[in-house]
């Protein structure tokens, strides 16, 4: 009993007898969870990091959250930001979430902060979802695998869709509200994470898809400098064509939204009108911007701001004028079959290609692969012909894996590889090629045939999702490998191919040897020149020809 009493006294000193933590905003009470290996950790869910972006705060930069009285219950997941998830083919029309959504989650194996040396590295997860959906909640991104290691993990929600990214490209509705939410969330981490046992000077930001683009944008943004120290980009960078809106297009879409909603076109009047509109109506209006089915899949995204009179989040269009603001170590890469995200949607339950795409490939492909608004209209027929001739040599689209390759190259590969080459920071590059027993392709579309290691499949190895079966066999081994690599990157400066101190060194990516880590199993190998022929094909297409004559003018204007 005496030993038990001493243990309870120790727990009381570390956590507080009521599991209550004192933040500058107020007191919070979390819950106790267990990691995959049975390690106890504290989960604090739904901590406000910004004021609710409703009423006059809708379509405005976020403001710091107010303090509260009493003890905040941080034991339950808060609603995601209001949205429809167009990527989930069975529920794409379901309205989800709430406009009151700017909340932080923190998971920690320790809270003792007496000794500075004992503070743990921090990993901040930025969720994806095409800038129109997604959330950072534990039900989807359970930290149970990561918390086997000595790290503190944080995640959060940010505004998505028109509410997060509508822009008239002026100072009235500049856009990037969702990105500025992220900046404020990172500031909150810097100010508060020490209370959770995390080191504010060892923060790694990591994200997937639009989350990967977001991580990359923080590398480019002057507003994010000093808020993080390492970065992991999974399956997305600011140099994919859907990462940042081409100059002029955001305003066109804002004016179209004004017309559809019956609001005035004047920016001030439009802003006032939209702030008085039911949030669900604004979310529903988003679906009016599809040109075919749910394509282009990304229509409201980060945008270049006018930085003449103030410091914006993003001042230059990175596809034309790339400028890195934060030079930190980077781990980045992609999955071998990213294109399953889109390919799964254009084949039916019998795995037959949609007849509209089959019969009108030239018309729809520029929307599907998101190059219509960066390519000169006169170049579109040439580009579609080259794409079709490369991938469908039999004269049909019956081979589904060829469609996956086309989408992988056209939407992901070029922009991801361009980023790896252009970054001035040290880059470790990977390709995830492990086939788990479960794949996100089953959510993306009705075709049950093998469509490869798709967009998001690496997250199966990194996060526990509520209702998911336990990983077994090689799936479990690869998951443990991924956790070792990702957390080792955050914790140390010695990067090895298996995440262990004694592992083989992982060479940096460079434009000559192009060495990368191929993760096809729990025994990864170093390889060279990932998908280099695919990359060169896409690099050779005039996909930015819309800017050719005006590139210098654009640089001057931006």
Active site residue 424: no
Q: Could you say which of 132, 133, 167, 209 is catalytic?
A: 209
Q: Report d(CA 301, CA 243) in Å as an integer.
A: 7
Q: Which of 380, 370, 209, 384 is nearest to 291 (CA)?
A: 370
What is the DSSP annotation of 378-432? GGHHHHHHHHHHHH-TTSSS--HHHHHHHHIIIIIIHHHHHHHHH-SS-EEEEEE
Q: Could you say which of 455, 458, 461, 479 is catalytic?
A: 455
Contacts of 399 (CB under 8 A, 6+ apart): 392
Peptide bond into 296 cis (omega under 30): yes
Q: Could you say which of 99, 208, 234, 338 is catalytic?
A: 338
Q: Report d(CA 233, CA 489) in Å as an integer.
A: 12
Contacts of 402 (CB under 8 A, 6+ apart): 391, 392
Adjacent-strand bridge partners of 43: 31, 107
Torsion of CA 214, 147, 468, 342, to 10 degrees: 20
Q: Which residues of 9-25 are buried (b: 16+ CB within 10 A; e: fewer)?
A: eeeeeebeeebebebeb
**Residue 72 tokens, joined:** 């905040």
Q: Report d(CA 116, CA 84) in Å as an integer.
A: 43
Q: Which residues of 510-540 are buried (b: 16+ CB within 10 A; e: fewer)?
A: eeeebbbbbbbebebeeeeebbeebbebbee
Q: Report d(CA 102, CA 202) in Å as an integer.
A: 24
Active site residue 448: no
Within 440-550, strands assigned E span 515-519, 525-528
Active site residue 338: yes
* Sign (positive or negative) of CA dihedral 34, 35, 41, 44: negative
**Residue 254 tokens, joined:** 């804002």
Active-site residue set:
209, 338, 455
């Amino acid at each position: 009993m005496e030993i038990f009493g001493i243990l309870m006294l120790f727990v009381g000193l570390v956590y507080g007898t009521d599991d209550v933590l004192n933040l500058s905003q107020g007191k919070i009470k979390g819950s106790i969870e267990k990691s995959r290996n049975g390690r106890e950790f504290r989960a604090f869910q739904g901590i406000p990091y910004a004021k609710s972006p409703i009423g006059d705060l809708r379509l405005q930069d976020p403001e710091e959250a107010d303090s509260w009285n009493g003890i905040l219950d941080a034991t339950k997941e808060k609603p995601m930001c209001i949205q429809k998830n167009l990527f989930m083919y069975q529920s794409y029309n379901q309205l989800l979430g709430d406009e009151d959504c700017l909340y932080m989650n923190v998971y920690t194996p320790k809270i003792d902060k007496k000794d500075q040396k004992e503070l743990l590295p921090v990993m901040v997860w930025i969720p994806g979802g095409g800038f129109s959906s997604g959330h950072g909640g534990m039900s989807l991104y359970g930290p149970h695998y990561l918390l086997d290691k000595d790290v503190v993990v944080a995640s959060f929600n940010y505004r998505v869709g028109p509410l997060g990214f509508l822009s008239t490209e002026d100072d009235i509705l500049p856009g990037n509200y969702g990105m500025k939410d992220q900046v404020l969330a990172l500031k909150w981490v810097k100010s508060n994470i020490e209370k959770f046992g995390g080191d504010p000077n060892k923060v790694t930001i990591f994200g997937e898809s639009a989350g990967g683009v977001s991580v990359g944008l923080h590398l480019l943004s002057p507003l994010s400098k000093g808020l993080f120290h390492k970065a992991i980009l999974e399956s997305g960078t600011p140099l994919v064509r859907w990462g940042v809106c081409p100059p002029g297009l955001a305003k066109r879409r804002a004016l179209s939204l004004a017309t559809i909603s019956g609001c005035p076109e004047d920016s001030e009047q439009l802003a006032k009108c939209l702030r008085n509109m039911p949030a669900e109506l604004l979310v529903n209006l988003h679906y009016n911007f599809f040109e075919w089915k749910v394509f282009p899949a990304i229509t409201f995204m980060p945008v270049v701001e006018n930085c003449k009179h103030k410091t914006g989040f993003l001042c230059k269009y990175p596809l034309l004028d790339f400028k890195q603001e934060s030079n930190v170590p980077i781990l980045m890469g992609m999955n071998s079959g990213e294109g399953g995200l889109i390919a799964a949607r254009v084949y039916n339950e019998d795995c037959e290609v949609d007849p509209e795409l089959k019969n009108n490939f030239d018309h729809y492909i520029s929307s599907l692969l998101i190059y219509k608004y960066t390519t000169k209209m006169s170049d579109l027929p040439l580009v579609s012909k080259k794409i079709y001739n490369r991938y469908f040599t039999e004269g049909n689209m019956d081979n589904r894996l060829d469609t996956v390759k086309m989408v992988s190259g056209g939407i992901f590969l070029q922009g991801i590889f361009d980023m790896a080459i252009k970054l001035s920071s040290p880059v470790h590059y990977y390709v995830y090629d492990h086939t788990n027993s479960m794949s996100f392709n089953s959510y993306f579309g009705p075709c049950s045939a093998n469509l490869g290691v798709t967009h998001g499949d690496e997250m199966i190895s990194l996060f526990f999702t509520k209702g998911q079966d336990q990983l077994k066999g090689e799936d479990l081994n690869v998951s443990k490998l991924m956790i070792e690599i990702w957390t080792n990157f955050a914790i140390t400066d010695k990067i090895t191919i298996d995440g262990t101190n004694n592992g083989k060194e992982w060479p940096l990516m460079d434009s000559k040897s192009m060495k990368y880590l191929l993760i096809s199993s729990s025994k990864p190998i170093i390889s060279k020149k990932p998908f280099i022929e695919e990359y060169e094909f896409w690099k050779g297409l005039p996909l930015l020809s819309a800017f050719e004559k005006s590139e210098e003018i654009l640089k001057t204007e931006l």
